[in-house]
Amino acid sequence: MLDRTVAPAYVQDTSFSLINPRIKTLGNGADVVYIAGGSQDVIKIELVFKAGRWYETKWGSAHFTAHLLSKGTASKSSYQIAQLFDLYGAHLEVTPGLDYVSVALYSLTKNIQPVLSLLQEILLEPSFPERELEQSVSIYIQNLKVNLEKTSFLASKLFRNTLFGENHPYGKELGESEVKSLTSSDLRGFYMNFKDFTVFVSGKVDAATEKFIDATFSSLEKNTQTQKNISRNAAKRVHQEVEKEGSVQASLRLGTESVIRSHPDYAKIIFSAHILGGYFGSRLMKNIREEKGLTYGIYASVQPLKQAGYFVIGADVNKENIGITFEEIRKELRRLRTEEVPQDELLTARNHFIGSLQSEITTPFAHADKIKTLYLSKLPADYYQKMISTVKDMTTAQIISTADQYLNEENFIELAVG
Amino acid sequence: MIQFEEFTLENGLRVIVHEDPTVEIAVLNILYDVGSRDEHPDKTGFAHLFEHLMFGGSVNIPNYDEPLQKVGGENNAFTNTDITNYYLTVPAANIETGFWLESDRMLSLSFDPNVLEVQRKVVIEEFKQRYLNQPYGDVWLRLRPLAYLKHPYQWATIGKEISHLENATMDDVRGFFFNHYAPNNAILVVAGNVTKDQVKRLSEKWFGPIPRQHVTKRNLTPEPAQTTKRFLEVDAKVPASAFYKSYHMPGRFHHDYYAADLLSDILSRGHSSRLYQKLVKEKEIFTSVSSFVMGTIDPGLLVINGRVKNGVKLADAEQEVNQIVEELLVKGATEEELTKVKNQAYSTLEFGEVEVMNRAMNLAFAKLSGDANIVNREAHDIEAVTLADIQRVGRQILREDNSSVMYYHAKN
């Protein structure tokens, strides 16, 4: 007779096998990182430029320079560019970030030549048409107005403002007047920053495709971006509740500055954050959602940017529950840094952390994302393996000391908008 | 091409195995043939509330999530108008834990009143967070009852109103469970680093003993053919006015589905599409515009929507949209356009198959039509659509008297 009350036996696997990337340095000095794998006839070619908001001298120039790349070249209009990508079923995804700008081309491998040639043309001769800029700006402003109606957007914005300062690239949110003042020549000027790049190629790649990719990116100019240091004042602890008329719920954000990926305590911090609010069985989810039903979801996470990291907890709750939710979150933070995590909970959190890290790498694109992280942060190839063993060996005493040092609620910024 | 094998247990559970030894994980997907279309009009939102209760402990296992997390697994679920779908990922060696957990909650739930009370609150917060506390969040709560007068697609999966969730009782919960959560009303797909023999053995072991249940045969009121245009105007506190127009179209497994899908792609997919080029780029009437098909099993909707530039009247915006639709119907699409949208669709299929979990979900959903192998025929069926099909289907669907229009006015 089957006994359904007894769980099946399981194994604890701590391996983490990333595809072995092949890094090729082209004649111009640019690296192309090949991550071959997968059985579908698809390829992703991602260029990462050291040209994010960090390098702006005029706010918004990185965002709009990136955004306008596919809106015109010396000989093609935005329509002609879109027409060609669409015709081949390819897709160009441009993501301007705080540190980097990413330009990713997704295509069927069999169609890569014409669409990659188009990408090359875009990168060699972008024209940044004035009218395209005006359109993009006006659409941006409307989207911004919509976002400003969302309590979650307002709360995240206020959180980064408070933590990094309004005039720091990580704390900055572009405003209407700033984007309106951008000109086509600002973008042409900022495009000079798009010279420090690395290419990540993942998916199905044959020899002919590889040769073509190498030749394409050899034609671009490669320079090293100048180091840029930006100073800021340490954030002060605040508690702020901002009323937003007509909202049904309030968005909460609590957190503090944290560390970047290369920091020796990084793995310990993210695992402590995992126990607190990193998965469905975490303490915050159990307490605030599963026991009290105060929210649809609550999370805690570490956001490691290139120059600094931060830790943040977020949730949406009914306005009348703001006080109790803050109190319960503080209670959980205090408990994490004062009481030992029970062994059974530790085992669950640990196995879940390791298992979900392993489960992330089921596609060549996911492998490429991990490899990209290692490359850009200059981390060793066995970084994730080491992270897993740190988590596996972490003791309850280490969790207490890590939480006490990095997740101490007494140093937190606490915000509610709604 | 997705290779798979299938078999059916004696209790009626349909099982599909898709072996992919290139990944180190295994995934398990269970689709229950129940969605919000199966709800009583006075008890809406129930299929989805029920999905939450499925995580509140089963007859022999007090907590669903913890044992799965302990073996390094992850899980989630979704409910829509047609199906409720549960899925999990584990390191391949621990797949039996998935069988154990999923089979126990198919056998029976704990029916703990406290779980109902908490999840009721959680779902009400979800209702508020996603549908009330977002600009444009209530659009579908308003558009559905406009487009559907009889068919249960007239309410959203989250429910018509919060009071329906507030009034749900434990008797409702039990009734719903025993009427829908049965092996003969489910499709199990196991994929990844597994073998057919292993899946067969584990399926027999864990799911085999669950008794078949009587499942009431679905008997939904079909939506009568629409004969006059419907119209709704709403004032909302949003920064930009928005336009919505929906047309009735065939369901997901109808032979004209692909033609309708490609038709909507011709209208708005990509920045070279007709609506985007004319209305966003050339005339600057809309700041965003899209059209899409709902892909529901019963006859669905083709929707055109967009936000207009400040100062543009929605009636004028509609005129502009109508003109483009009209031109497409009269002159037809071009050969190049058809090639383009087919290439886009083919590319989407290929990219969609990269992730093993997607392959598993697609197989489960396809099996609902009776034939899982439609996952491998899709590319061919898309290829077979002709310009004449596009025009014929377009003329059937994109008619004024088949449309429901909503003007969503920005009011400050």
pLDDT digits (tens, 9 = 90+) for A1-19: 899 999 999 999 899 999 9
CA angle B28, B33, B36 (to 5 degrees): 115
With bands split at pLDDT 50, 70 and 90, how would you rate the model's confidence at A236? confident
Distance from CA of A222 to the nearest CA of B (A): 30
On whether ipTM exceeds 0.85, the answer is: yes
Two tokens, residue A412: 């937190």
pLDDT of residue A230: 93
What pLDDT does A405 receive?
Answer: 98
| Chain A residues 117-136 with a CB less than 8 Å from chain B | 135
CB–CB of B409/B241 below 8 Å?
yes
Distance CA B328, CA B341 (A): 15
Contact residues on chain B for A291, CB-CB shorter than 8 A: 118
Cβ A349–B356 below 8 Å, yes or no?
Answer: no
CB contact under 8 A, A135 and B281: yes
Q: Rounded CA gap, B382 and B390, in Å?
A: 11
Which residue shows structure tokens 């949730």? A315
Instruction: Search chain A and give the residue with CA nearest B107.
Output: A4
pLDDT band of residue A246 (cuts 50, 70, 90) is confident
Mean pLDDT within A23-32 = 97
Is the pLDDT at A355 greater than 90? The verdict is yes
| pLDDT at res. A235 | 84
pLDDT at A105 over 90: yes
Q: Which residues of B touch A249 (CB under 8 A)?
A: 125, 128-129, 133
Interface contact A114, partner B, CB < 8 A: no
The pLDDT assigned to A334 comes to: 98
pLDDT value for A55:
97
* Predicted local distance difference test score (pLDDT) of residue B102: 98
Cα A135 to Cα A138, A380, B92, B189, B278: the distances in Å are 5, 44, 50, 47, 13
Q: Which CATH architecture has domain A22-218?
A: 2-Layer Sandwich (3.30)
Long-range Cβ contacts of B327-332 (<8 Å, 24+ apart):
B328/B266, B328/B267, B328/B274, B328/B394, B328/B398, B329/B391, B329/B394, B329/B395, B329/B398, B332/B387, B332/B390, B332/B391
The whole-angstrom separation of Cα A353 and Cα A348 is 8
**pLDDT tens, position by position, for chain B (412 residues)?**
899 999 999 999 999 999 999 999 999 999 999 999 999 999 999 999 999 999 999 999 999 999 999 999 999 999 999 999 999 999 999 999 999 999 999 999 999 999 999 999 999 999 998 898 889 999 999 999 999 999 999 999 999 999 999 999 999 989 999 999 999 999 999 999 999 999 999 999 999 999 999 999 999 999 999 999 999 999 999 999 999 999 999 999 999 999 999 999 999 999 999 999 999 999 999 999 999 999 999 999 999 999 999 999 999 999 999 999 999 999 999 999 999 999 999 999 999 999 999 999 999 999 999 999 999 999 999 999 999 999 999 999 999 999 999 999 999 6
Do A22-218 and A238-417 come out as alike in CATH topology? yes
Q: Which of A12, A135, A348 sits opposite B66 (nearest CB)?
A: A348
Question: Three-class SS of residue A402?
Answer: helix
User: Which A residues, 228 through 267, put their C-beta within 8 Å of a C-beta on chain B?
Assistant: 246-249
Distances (CA, A) of B143 to A333, B137, B322: 44, 11, 19
Residue of B55, B347, B376, B412 best to disrupt the A interface, most CBs of A under 10 A: B347
Percent helix, percent strand, percent coil in chain B, to nearest 5: 45, 20, 35
| Cα distance between residue A84 and residue A88, in whole Å | 7
Which amino acid makes up residue A193?
A: N
B401 burial level (CB within 10 Å; 0-12, 13-18, 19+): exposed
Please classify residue B331 by burial: count the beta carbons closer than 10 Å to its beta carbon, then call 0-12 exposed, 13-18 middle and 19+ buried.
exposed
| CATH, domain A238-417, list 3.40.50.300, 3.20.10.10, 3.30.930.10, 3.30.830.10 | 3.30.830.10
Contact call for B118 and A291, based on CB within 8 A: yes
Query: What's A54's DSSP letter?
Result: G
Contacts of B104 in chain A (CB under 8 A): 4
pLDDT of residue B412: 67
Would you call B74 and A352 a contact, using CB atoms and an 8 Å cutoff? yes
Could you state, in order of their start, the residue ranges of all structural domains in chain A? 22-218, 238-417
CB neighbours (10 Å) of residue A412?
23
pLDDT computed for residue B104 by the predictor: 97
Taking residues A391-405, report their average pLDDT.
Answer: 98
